[in-house]
Structure 1
Amino acid sequence: MRVVIAEDNVLLSTGLELLLGRAGFDIAAIADDAAGFLTAVREHRPDVTIVDVRLPPSFRDEGIRAALQARQEQPGLPVLVLSQYVEQQYAAELLATAGGGVGYLLKDRVSRVDAFIDALRRVAAGGTAMDPEVIAQLVQRAGDPIAALTVREREVLALMAQGLDNTAIAQHLTITDNAVHKHIGNIFAKLGLAVTDSGHRRVLAVLTYLNNAGWTSGP
């Protein structure tokens, strides 16, 4: 699985290279600015990318802008964003783009090796990987149609947004797999995600949750 990394911090980029190499990933390129990242993506057409939100020269939003441009050029390109802090305004634009895996993790999650590798694989496979701290903030801000969900259904949906499968959700909440299945069915029904809807209902539910919790794109 080919990976292109955009990270200007040498210690972190070197650490990612060693970590991912040991996990069996092929590091196609490491760029320290947005232009280098875009060049590497065009050349190597990676299976997944890791991008720091803030890159030289201004260290504001060069990374996320480059990720958005890369997804325009290569629709569905999986992107895992790393950030020092929760910066919702930047992630909103990335989440608003259609197709492909999307992740948003705080940089301190990289030290949790197994969880980080699992998140990267989920994003590469087209899923979502949202930082638990971000999810915690979204739960407090959730609005319609999320307001129609019960407390337990919101808990299940929040864990879905973190990328957990049914078995992991059941273990986390100490309930049965069957109970999780029923809660997810209720979530789909309340969010109006019928069986005939195009796309993956689980992903659509997560995006509905995130968009209605403050991750909507600006004008």
Structure 2
Amino acid sequence: MTTAPSAGPLRVVIAEDSAILRDGLVALLSRRGHDVVAVGDGDALVKEVGLRATAGELPDVVVADIRMPPSFTDEGMRAASALRAAHPALPVLVFSQYVETRYAAQLLAAGAGGVGYLLKDRVADVRDFVDALTRVAEGQTVLDPEVVTQLMGSASAGDPGLARLTPREREVLGLMAEGRSNGAIAERLYLSYGAVEKNVASIFAKLGLEADAADHRRVLAVLRYLGT
């Protein structure tokens, strides 16, 4: 799949059962020049993406709710997982009212980038949503801080590499898990950009993540942190 450049329009497929929210997202993204198609359930999402794949035009990013018809349990996530299995590089942004740690871990455990999980009630600024969507389409990992907190739990307690991190390095890694850039981390922690770079390099070293063109060390470090 070819990823659209960050400055250009994105091909977006949205799966959302709330007609008001679905239409709102379509209007919001269409006004910004993106090519948007919206469906109301998981089966329709799989069908739409499948048709686009057959035509050689996979979407640049899929936005999916978790609980959708008919049972309102996990239809959206099952559809997203099936699409990632068929198209491992397909970026997926989960947009839900709930923190479902099991489902978040399933998406993250696949190891590929382009994963996001935002909570509907916590997105206060349209620009934040659009920015997160763009970064997921570019292959980044973007998680709501509450999702990060719940995923962490005690899952990373037995990792010796993580145990060697300083409190500041853990703080930096936590912000990396939220999808923040080095510049944003520097601003958040009142550090210089160079200080953040040094912390990130130290994190990679302590976790044994050597530079490798085949792996995205930032994503791998976050996966370790979240215990996935």
What is the TM-score with the length of structure 2 in the denominator?
A: 0.87
> Residues of 2 paired with 1:23 and 1:173: CA distance?
32
Change over 3 Å in CA distance of 1:163–1:108 after alignment to 2: same
- Look up the match of 1:81: 94
Matched, 1:186 2:206: no
- Look up the match of 1:17: 26
Deviations 1:56-97 (A, max 9, x none): 111111111100111122221000001212110111111112
Change over 3 Å in CA distance of 1:193–1:167 after alignment to 2: same
Change over 3 Å in CA distance of 1:56–1:9 after alignment to 2: same
SS at match of 2:218: helix
CA contact (8 A) 1:139 1:158 kept: no
Matched, 1:33 2:41: yes
Match of 2:120, as an amino acid? Answer: K
> Residues of 2 paired with 1:98 and 1:198: CA distance?
12
Matched, 1:114 2:114: no
> Residues of 1 paired with 2:221 and 2:213: CA distance?
11
- Look up the match of 1:50: 63
SS at match of 1:105: strand
Matched, 1:69 2:85: no
SS at match of 1:181: helix
Q: Which runs of 5+ in 2 are unaligned?
A: 1-9, 53-57
CA contact (8 A) 2:113 2:219 kept: no
Matched, 1:157 2:173: yes
RMSD across aligned positions (CA): 1.5
Change over 3 Å in CA distance of 1:115–1:136 after alignment to 2: same
Matched, 1:124 2:137: yes
SS at match of 2:95: strand
Deviations 1:131-171 (A, max 9, x none): 01122334553422322211110110111111111111100
Match of 1:40, as an amino acid? Answer: E
Change over 3 Å in CA distance of 1:149–1:197 after alignment to 2: farther
How far 1:195 moved relative to its partner? 2.1
> Residues of 1 paired with 2:24 and 2:216: CA distance?
34
Q: Which runs of 5+ in 1 are unaligned?
A: none
> Residues of 2 paired with 1:179 and 1:201: CA distance?
18
Residue identity over aligned pairs, in percent, reads 55
Matched, 1:208 2:202: no
Moved more, 131-140 or 179-188: 131-140
CA contact (8 A) 1:109 1:116 kept: no
> Residues of 2 paired with 1:91 and 1:77: CA distance?
16
Match of 2:221, as an amino acid? Answer: A
> Residues of 2 paired with 1:100 and 1:135: CA distance?
16
Match of 1:199, as an amino acid? Answer: D
Match of 2:109, as an amino acid? Answer: A
Match of 1:149, as an amino acid? Answer: L
